[in-house]
Structures are given as C-alpha cells and as structure tokens.
C-alpha cells in the first residue's frame, strides 16, 4: 500500500502537469521554432516564436498549421507522445493571403485579392513578383489554374469556406498554397507573434501587426 501511494504521489502530479500543458497548448498558446527560409526576411531560420491559438485570423496574419495531409510531401512525425500532446505531423509557418470566399490571382507581377492589388511592402519588390514558374519566368495564375495540379479542390474558383490561401514571404523558395492548395481551419494551430527582442522593429511589425 505504501508503495502504491508512493507511486501515485509522483504519477498524479505528472499527469496533472501534462493535462495543464495540453490545455494551455490547445487553447492558449504554444512555442515554436522556425525551420527553413520560407518566411525570410521577416522570420529567420531557427527563430523562436509564440503561437496564439485563439487569435483572429485576418488578411496578412502569419499562422502555424499542420501540413500533413495537405502537402503530399509533408511527412507525418507521428508518435504516441506527439498524439497525446496534439502535435503529430509537420508544422508549416506561412502568411494568410486570402480568407474564405476570396479570389486570388497573380497577374503581371501583382498579387490581387478580390480584384484589388495587395500591399506587399513587407517583402522586397523582387519577391513580390515571384509567382509559379513557367520556363523560368514568373507566370500569371489564379485559384482555378493552380487547382488543376492540387491533390484536392480541383476546379476551385475561390477560397473554400473554412479554409485559407497561404504564401511564404520568401516566394521563390516557399512551398505553399500555390502548389498544394488551401489550409483548412482545423489544421491551424494559431497566429504567430514574435518576441519583443527578436530581429528588428520593422520585421516584428511585419509579422505582428500586418493587416490589409
């Protein structure tokens, strides 16, 4: 009996701690680390970020989402512990360009949402003009033309309800909605906020306060 009580004495606090951590991660915020260059110059490789689960997603929001099942090349980093903590899969960080019901197109070097040119001053002019490549030249596209090569939502004309169209800031290297489609809301982990001491003020503002 004493042995059982002793075991319970350290097991119960661990279980409670895990439950609290899971609830915080699921409903409040979690921490993440940027992996790769797809959000440069505003988020750097290995930069630590905060991900707020209940923040409202707007045009220009930077989000973290589970790409497993969306991008055919995204592996599933599955394990019992990851399933327990609710983070089995591969997470991507991208910028929301279009919300449910929006149209998106890239035309003559401009990004248009609902027919209006998007202010992309958060990236360089050369990156603004990057689209899907045809014969090494930026090509014009819209959701319908892109969707012909997507694994899902073929023939879509606009962003589906409950889903988002995302792009990386470093357009020439980013693997994003141009290549595999929309991000469903239930794949979104949360909205990214940077730490006050990370990078410089302009880059922080480009992530934390962007809306159009």
Examine residue 24 and state whether it is found in any structural domain, yes or no: no
| Whether residue 94 lies in the annotated active site | yes
CB 166 within 8 A of CB 96: yes
pLDDT at 24: 43
Examine residue 6 and state whether it is found in any structural domain, yes or no: no
Examine residue 89 and state whether it is found in any structural domain, yes or no: yes
Examine residue 107 and state whether it is found in any structural domain, yes or no: yes
Question: What's the average model confidence in pLDDT over 102-118?
Answer: 94
Q: How far apart are CA 16 and CA 12, in angstroms?
A: 6
Report the 3 state secondary structure along the chain: CHHHHHHHHHHHHHHHHHHHHHHHHHHCEEEEECCCCCCCCCCCCCCEEEEECCCCCCCCCEEEEECECCECCCCCCCCHHHHHHCCCCCEEEEEEEECCCCCEEEECCEEEECCEECCCCCCCHHHHCCCCEECCEECCEEHHHHHCCCCCCCCCCCCCCCEEEEECCCCCCCCCHHHHCCEEHHHEEEEEEECCCCCCHHHHHHHHCCCC
126 has a pLDDT exceeding 80: yes
Examine residue 2 and state whether it is found in any structural domain, yes or no: no
**Which residue, among 149, 155, 56, 157, has the nearest Cα to 103 in the 3D structure?**
157
User: Domain range holding 34?
Assistant: 30-208
| Whether residue 38 lies in the annotated active site | yes
Question: What's the average model confidence in pLDDT over 142-155?
Answer: 94
Q: How far apart are CA 57 and CA 55, in angstroms?
A: 6
pLDDT at 176: 96
Chain-centre distance of CA 23, in angstroms?
21
Examine residue 171 and state whether it is found in any structural domain, yes or no: yes
Examine residue 16 and state whether it is found in any structural domain, yes or no: no
Q: How far apart are CA 151 and CA 160, in angstroms?
A: 15
- Catalytic position from the list 38, 61, 174, 177: 38
List the beta bridge partners of residue 172: none
Average pLDDT, the chain: 83
Question: What's the average model confidence in pLDDT over 48-58?
Answer: 92
Buried residues in 129-165 as b, exposed as e (16+ CB within 10 A):
bbbeeeeeebeebbbeebbeebeeeeebebbbeebbb
Model confidence band, residue 19 (pLDDT cutoffs 50, 70, 90)? very low
Examine residue 169 and state whether it is found in any structural domain, yes or no: yes
- Our count of domains for the chain comes to 1
Angle at 96 between CA 85 and CA 24, to 5 degrees: 25
- Catalytic position from the list 94, 174, 177, 203: 94
Question: What's the average model confidence in pLDDT over 179-195?
Answer: 95
Q: How far apart are CA 190 and CA 30, in angstroms?
A: 9
Model confidence band, residue 18 (pLDDT cutoffs 50, 70, 90)? very low
CATH code, 128: 2.10.109.10
């Amino acid at each position: 009996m004493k042995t059982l009580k002793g075991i319970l004495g350290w097991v119960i606090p661990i279980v409670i701690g895990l439950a609290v951590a899971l609830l915080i991660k699921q409903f409040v915020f979690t921490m993440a680390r940027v992996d790769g260059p797809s959000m440069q110059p505003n988020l750097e490789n290995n930069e630590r970020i905060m991900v707020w689960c209940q923040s409202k997603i707007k045009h220009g929001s930077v989000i973290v989402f589970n790409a497993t099942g969306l991008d055919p090349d995204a592996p599933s980093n599955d394990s019992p512990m990851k399933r327990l903590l609710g983070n089995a899969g591969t997470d991507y960080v991208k910028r929301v360009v279009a919300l449910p019901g929006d149209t998106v197109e890239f035309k003559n070097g401009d990004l248009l949402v609902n027919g209006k040119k998007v202010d992309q001053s958060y990236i360089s002019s050369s990156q603004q003009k990057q689209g899907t490549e045809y014969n090494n030249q930026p090509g014009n596209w819209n959701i319908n033309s892109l969707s012909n090569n997507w694994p899902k939502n073929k023939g879509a004309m606009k962003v589906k309800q409950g889903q988002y169209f995302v792009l990386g800031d470093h357009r020439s290297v980013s693997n994003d909605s141009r290549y595999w489609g929309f991000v469903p809301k239930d794949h979104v982990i949360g909205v990214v906020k940077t730490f006050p001491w990370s990078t410089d003020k302009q880059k922080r503002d480009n992530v934390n306060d962007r809306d159009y």
